[in-house]
Amino acid sequence: MQKVAIVTDSVACLPRELVEQYGIKIIPVNLYFGDKVYRDWVDITPSQAYELFLKDPTAFKTSGINPVDCLEAYRQVSNDSNGVLCVTISSKLSMVYNSALKAKERAGDELPKNSIGVVDSQTATAAEGFVALAAARVAAGGKSLAEVVKAAEEVRDKVCVVALMDTIRYVYRSGRIPKIASVAGSMLSIKPVLTISSGAVRFKGAVRSREHGIERVLKITRDRVGQSPVHMAVMHAYAPDDAEQLKERVSSEFNCVELWITEFSPVMGYACGTGTLGVAFYPED
């Protein structure tokens, strides 16, 4: 019996094959379109969600994960493990981490045989996925909860996201800039380049063309990893052809230990919009 089960949220953007390979439990975020509710990656794929988004962006909304959702995930994995590690999106970006902690408190009496740990990934998207994957890979070797937590924290301290947004039009939904600024930036075709690391989203500049933006993304990545062996994921929001082209460049220009493509969770696309493209990565020791 595997000692430690890994739980994470759907914002981690893990491809289904990796989820199944390592038996990772995903807690889906709810997506709303009109009067219908969809569970991210369960009832609807990211591509299907983005199609709804493009039909009417104003009717598309998201909601967070509550303690009940986390507790149910802990219950579901408890029969096959004696330990649980929940890896969440950055606590600076979402309340999921707090929900996971509250669920851990409630599980004390209900699941007394299971030790539960919660790790704030301090990031999002596939970077969060890499933190969960690191934990799952160590857990697959039958290691203790403490060893699994250590593996997750080591990757958390190294992982980074660099992303190019195709539009700034919907960023106001994040609460970080006024709506009028988003609209004005969209009219000027401003395409921001952002990073996520150490729990925070940082603005790294803006470009006017997608080609220049991709070059900026690759330069920032290259400056951080050089020729070191690197774990890397290419991410996209409803831009699969661009993602494939970026993957080919990454494969030829970087020393990749692993490389896979995934879609941005629509939870992120809610503010980023379609066309967003990026990479998540961390260097091998």
Q: Residue 243 has which token pair?
A: 């993602």
Model confidence at 170, pLDDT cuts 50, 70, 90, reads low
**pLDDT band of 2, cuts 50, 70, 90:** low
Could you tell me the sign of the dihedral formed by the alpha carbons of 246, 249, 253, 257, in that order?
Answer: positive
Residues 6+ apart with CB under 8 A from 28: 9, 10, 39, 40, 41, 42
Summarize pLDDT for 189-208 with one digit per residue, the tens: 678 888 988 888 888 888 88
CA distance 217 to 220: 5
CATH level 2 (architecture), domain 160-283: 2-Layer Sandwich (3.30)
End-to-end CA distance of the chain: 29
> What is the structure's pLDDT at 39?
94
Give span(s): CATH 3.40.50.10440, the chain.
4-29+64-156
In the chain, CATH 3.30.1180.10 covers: 160-283
Q: What is the dihedral of CA 88, 49, 236, 61, to 10 degrees?
A: -60
Please tell me whether the overall predicted TM-score, pTM, comes out greater than 0.85 for this model: yes
User: What does the block give as tokens for 51?
Assistant: 């199609």
Best CA proximity match to 162, nearest among 125, 206, 193, 130: 193
CATH code of the region 4-29+64-156: 3.40.50.10440
* Predicted local distance difference test score (pLDDT) of residue 278: 95
Residue 171 in this model has a pLDDT that exceeds 60: no
